[in-house]
Structure 1
Amino acid sequence: MLDNLPRGTICIEDMEIGMSRYLRKVITDEDIEKFADVSTDRNPVHLDDDYAENSMFHGRIAHGMLTASLISAVIGEQLPGHGTVYMGQTLKFIRPVRPGDTVLAEVKVTDIDHHKRRVLLECVCTVNDKPVLIGEAKVQAPSRKLD
């Protein structure tokens, strides 16, 4: 299940501090398996129930970067959207995400440099209103003006 605001583009000329967008997604076993295949990260804490049960997490967890990829999806599809260039990202993983968890990935504009078309975005992923990931992204936003 995927729940999010309409996709598209918000140009730098239309951005305001505090503007935000989100995406909500249930993380499935299939998502974890596909991410393991694509990333080649086959750590058994993500894929093997018996192994994961004996880990510090006491059960399987999703890849942290799978959760982080939801932030990328919001940035690339909604805020700013199509034409955005990622310049940097910080991430702090706070809690594990488990199969079946619904992740809410949100980004919010915290600073805008109109001259350079650079935007700072606060990034937060939550499960049941508890943060699982926090960070900040720096992007170059699309513009209606030609360079």
Structure 2
Amino acid sequence: MLDLHLHNLPTGTICIEDLEIGMTRSISRTFGDREIELFADLSCDRNPVHLDEEYAQETVFQGRVAHGMLTASLLSAVIGEQLPGHGTVYLGQSLKFLAPVRPGDRVTATVSVREIDYPRRRVTLDCLCAVGDTLVLKGEALVLAPSRKFD
């Protein structure tokens, strides 16, 4: 399903000089069978828990689930397009998967600025993904933010 929805527009770049603690941006996307299949092909992860309902029924999930990294990829979209945005360089990412994402679930990924090291241009971001009121993923990212001084 191509129902990409951006919150807190505009997209683009927020340079380190303009970042503030607490700034937040998010994106929502529904992951259907098509997205799961495409991600399986792109990632070469064809684990049947993602693709075969009969197999997945016999697992701890009792049904198919989307790839965890597909869910996490929405965080990359927020970071690369909105906060800080274009020109951002990933330095690290930690993730904890808390609940499954099922085919047809609408995931909202939210990124918030937790810490800013202005001299080194490093920003620590809190990262969350939720399906409705259920938190499905949490973590943090460390990024090198773009700067007007280096344009």
Category of TM-score, reference length = shorter chain: over 0.9
SS at match of 2:150: coil
Residue 126 (structure 2) pairs with residue 115 (structure 1): no
Aligned length: 147
Q: Distance in 1 between matches of 2:88 and 2:32?
A: 28
Q: Deviations over 1:79-99 (max 9, x none)?
A: 000000000000000000001
Cα deviation per residue 1:115-137 (whole Å; 9 max; x = unaligned)? 00000000000001110000000
- TM-score, with structure 2 as normaliser: 0.95
Unaligned stretches of 5+ residues in structure 1: none
Counterpart for residue 40 of structure 2: 36
Distance 1:86 1:122 in 2: 14
Distance across 2 between alignment mates of 1:146 and 1:22: 27
The residue type paired with residue 101 of structure 1 is: D
Q: CA deviation at 1:46?
A: 0.1
Give 1:111 deviation, angstroms.
Answer: 0.3
Distance 1:10 1:146 in 2: 13
Does residue 126 of structure 1 match 2:130? yes
Aligned match for 1:64, one of 49, 63, 68: 68
Structure 2 gap segments, 5+ residues each: none
Question: Match of 2:16?
Answer: 12
Deviant stretches of 4+, over 2 Å: none
| Residue of 27, 30, 33 corresponding to 1:26 | 30
1:6 partner amino acid: P
TM-score, normalising length: structure 1:
0.98
Please tell me the residue identity of whatever aligns with 1:130: T
User: Aligned equivalents of 1:55 and 1:111: distance in 2?
Assistant: 39
Aligned residues: CA RMSD: 0.9
Q: CA deviation at 1:6?
A: 2.9
Quote how far apart the aligned CAs of 1:32 are: 0.3
Map of 1:88 onto structure 2: 92
1:136 partnered with 2:140: yes
Structure 1 Cα separation of the partners of residues 34 and 150 of structure 2: 42
Name the residue aligned to 1:2: 4
The amino acid across from 1:99 in the alignment is P
